Chain A
Amino acid sequence: MHEMSIAMQIVEIAVASIPADLKNAQVKRVNLKIGKLAAVVPESLRFCFQIAVQDTPLREADLNIEEIPLRVRCTDCNAEWTAHEPVFICRKCNSGSVEMLSGRELDITSIEVVDEAD
């Protein structure tokens, strides 16, 4: 539901990251990392992205989404595992002190640009 704000924010960050020396740069690809637990639906984000890129240097850009698994660690017994369900109870010692190592990412990692003037 908030994917449109996120898509627009991605466009904003990408545009601001185009080097000043590339006057006619077109962004061909935006690389994103989205954690499994992030409240973002990739399909919905792709749809919003198509709308948000109109009339920007990203109009032909692909959105490349790398899904980051939910990795968790028990702070009591140090067990680490990939959680496929949203269960934050240690499999080994039953402790409830389980921290997230990854899975909440919503990061833009890079953009790929070409300068049309080249």
Chain B
Amino acid sequence: MHEFMNKNQRYYHHKEFHKPHHSHGGNNGEAENKKTGSREIKIVRKVLDVNDEIARQNRKIFAEKGVYVINVMSSPGSGKTAILEKTLARIAPAVRCAVIVGDICTSNDADRLSAFGAPVVQINTDAFGGDCHLAAHVIKTAVDNFHLDEIDLLIIENLGNLVCPAEFDMGEHLRIVVLSVTEGEDKPLKYPLMFRVCQAALLNKIDLLPHLDYDGEKAVQNILQVNPKMKIFEISAKTEDGFDAWIKWLKQKLRE
């Protein structure tokens, strides 16, 4: 976690986040409160700007190397790994893939995904304080394990969590949220930021629908309220129902 706080401090002038700080001269930007002897120092900085800056660097590296990066997010147990297994089976090796898998601990997911011949890097965030999300600096370090020139698609399987990963840009091109039908149709309204920042939603485990009181129309409606532009695929990683459309769309994105 400490590595998250690198010492690369930059100062910003009031609201101009994009410009480096310049000298004001005198005591500008500091208000003195004579009564209490306290002094207010203006900062105006995004708390996560260190992360955002590294994400920009990542994005630049990915662009130079021609790597398309997707960030797959969901709550735990929604079927991310199963979806990626079936996705890799369909697109690799024609599409040269690599995978970064985040987990608080264990390498189970990485072991499952390595079976497809794509290089897999496992990140256990307990080394970073048991963090609940992957952040840009972790990805920057992880990609050193790959020959980026030989990769077309880098898939980041984020930690199971619908809250925190939504706040952390990693330099990816596409964000995908997986929601399994067993989680209920109200999740998009409970975790709006996640559904707002993603471009596609995979509604997984539709093979279980006969056993559930899940209202599919309501789920889609809830997603579209938060994000009217969301591309939605109803799939089953078990039966591969809906996979043709999802894979076709993904390949199309890769060509864009």
A residues sitting closer than 8 Å to B (CB atoms) are 1-2, 4-6, 8-10, 12-14, 16-19, 28-29, 32, 37-40, 85-89, 96-98, 104, 106-115, 118
Contacts and interface: CB of A to CB of B under 8 A. Distances in A.
Contacts of B45: 13, 107-108
Interface stretch (B36-44, B94-102, B108-116): B36-44
B175 to A, nearest CB: 14
Interface of B: 1, 4-5, 9, 11, 30, 33, 36-48, 50, 129, 131-133, 135, 161, 163-164, 166-168, 188-189, 192-194, 196, 224-229
B129 A5 contact: yes
B122 to A, nearest CB: 20
19 contacts: A1-B163, A4-B129, A8-B4, A13-B9, A13-B45, A14-B43, A17-B41, A39-B166, A86-B188, A87-B225, A88-B226, A88-B227, A96-B228, A108-B45, A109-B42, A110-B40, A113-B39, A114-B37, A114-B39
Nearest to A70: B192
Contacts of B40: 110-112
B196 A113 contact: no
Given A17-B43, A88-B196, A9 B50 contact: yes
A64 to B, nearest CB: 11
A41 to B, nearest CB: 9
B39 A110 contact: no
Contact of B193 (A2, A39, A96): A39
Given A1-B161, A86-B225, A88-B196, 5 more contacts: A5-B1, A6-B47, A37-B196, A39-B193, A86-B192
Contacts of B192: 37, 86
A63 to B, nearest CB: 12
A98 B192 CA distance: 14
